[in-house]
Chains A and B, each alone.
Chain A
Amino acid sequence: MNNVGKAVKISDNVYWVGAVDWTTRDFHGYQTSRGTTYNAYLIMADKITLVDTVKTPFMGELLSRISSVVDPSRIDYIVSNHAEMDHSGCLPQIMDIVKPEKVFASAMGQKILESQLRIGSKITPVMNGENLSLGNMNLTFIETKMLHWPDSMFSYLKEEQILFSQDAFGMHLAVDRLFDDENVWDVLEEESEKYFANILMPYSNLIIKLLDAVGEMKLPIKLVATDHGPIWRSNIGKIIELYRKWSEHKPVPRAVVVYDTMWNSTASMANAIGEGLRESGVDFKILPMSVSHRSDVATEILKSSAIIVGSPTLNNNIFPTLADVLTYVKGLRPLNMVGASFSSYGWSGESLGQLNDCLKAMNVELVNDGIRVKYVPADADLNACMELGRLVGTTLRGKIINLNNG
């Protein structure tokens, strides 16, 4: 451990003591183009409390920042709001150094910390709604099961009106300035949206319930202190509204075309479909998988209400990049999508049916059986592709009109 890192005061008695990871670009398959932070917080109450820890390689940075405020051995309590390794990996070592009186987690957190780190017997489980006295301050626990792990919970520090929200409302963004209003809003929105799409989208229904439940608690909140990225101070209402919008998946006039190609046939079909979408007045983005990352496809899907996928047939199968991205986005369970498939092929031509099956498994409403072209598309084929784009566009527009009239 060195003493380079210093804590950042975020409130009267609370300090950020986390770590900034300027290097990481791959977060279990999610491309973190702007790095990330692992946030941990030190509450200087009568009972000195550490909220979450950091990814193991950053333990020295955590200890250095804590030491700039207080000797780590004086910490009384540790709270684990989320047991995923980037917040708990170094917890056993920190417990050895700090020798805390107690370590708290949800009941599910206790089980997961046991399964991952074999420290379950040292964890004190807390219940939803339970209040923990820190002497002169109070911490209340709010379980947020499956947002996004079984153990996940918020901790609310009443006296300073801080909601420690673990991964919720977070983003992968390495920053030098810790507060939202010290950063560029467009970047915050973009990275929050990408985070939601890649981490939280499958749990949209639970998010709506949680937003309603926390709203009813009417907690005064000055800061939302997340586990990744900046702390929300000036845009709390805005990020909560965005979470509601992203969870609702209401139809919007926007489509995404995802494809790969071998000899440019599927590519020319993709571009013709784009022209059809343009004619129907629907915004769109074309993402060739040769140069696109699956996590950016996820973000585009969150922004869109139609997905059109294209693949050549390679050795009787869809192209491997499409298998990758379709497996990934199926797991993210996008809701309320229309779609279609297209493919070029040489002889057997299985990929169109396979693409349709993938979309059906994602509950995408197919506008038709799609288009399959042998070898290189002729003008008539490209016109059919444009027509497919128009059909997706008009189907989507019809859906929006029905919703507005309904």
Chain B
Amino acid sequence: MDKYVCDACGWVYDPAKGDPDHGIAPGTSFADLPDDWTCPECGVGKDSFSKQD
């Protein structure tokens, strides 16, 4: 599964790790994150993320 990087702050969403502090289980793909999920580091929305090269 692809990693996604936050365009605003550079934090990387790794599907293998998920975002357990915010209820996202490891193994959750970026596409399956809820629409209201936000970057845990800086708070911007999913639309401010890009697929990591």
Contact = CB atoms under 8 A, between A and B. Distances in A.
A211 interface: no
A5 interface: no
Interface in A88-130: 107-108
Interface string B29-47: 0000000001001111000
B43 A145 contact: yes
Contact of B8 (A107, A108, A206): A206
Contacts of A206: 8, 44, 48
**Does more than half of chain B's interface fall in helix, strand or loop, or is it mixed?**
loop
B7 A145 contact: no
Given A146-B9, A150-B9, A205 B42 contact: no
Nearest to B42: A150
A143 B43 contact: yes
A205 B43 contact: no
Q: How large is the interface on A (under 10, 10 to 19, 20 to 34, 35 or more residues)?
A: 10 to 19
A123 B13 CA distance: 29
Nearest to B41: A150
A208 to B, nearest CB: 12
Contacts of A143: 43
Contacts of B7: 205
A339 B7 CA distance: 23
Interface string A218-248: 0000000000000000000000000000000
Contacts of B42: 108, 145-146, 150
A43 B38 CA distance: 33
A203 interface: yes
Interface in B1-53: 7-9, 38, 41-44, 48
Nearest to A148: B8
A107 B22 CA distance: 14
A221 to B, nearest CB: 24
A205 B9 CA distance: 13
Interface in A149-208: 150, 202-203, 205-206
A202 B48 CA distance: 13
Nearest to A128: B43
Contacts of A150: 9, 41-43
25 contacts: A107-B43, A108-B42, A108-B43, A143-B43, A145-B8, A145-B38, A145-B42, A145-B43, A145-B44, A146-B8, A146-B9, A146-B42, A146-B43, A146-B44, A150-B9, A150-B41, A150-B42, A150-B43, A202-B8, A203-B8, A205-B7, A205-B48, A206-B8, A206-B44, A206-B48
Q: Which 6 A-B pairs have the closest CB atoms?
A: A146-B8, A150-B42, A145-B43, A150-B43, A146-B42, A108-B43
Given A146-B43, A150-B43, A205-B7, 5 more contacts: A108-B42, A145-B43, A145-B44, A150-B42, A205-B48
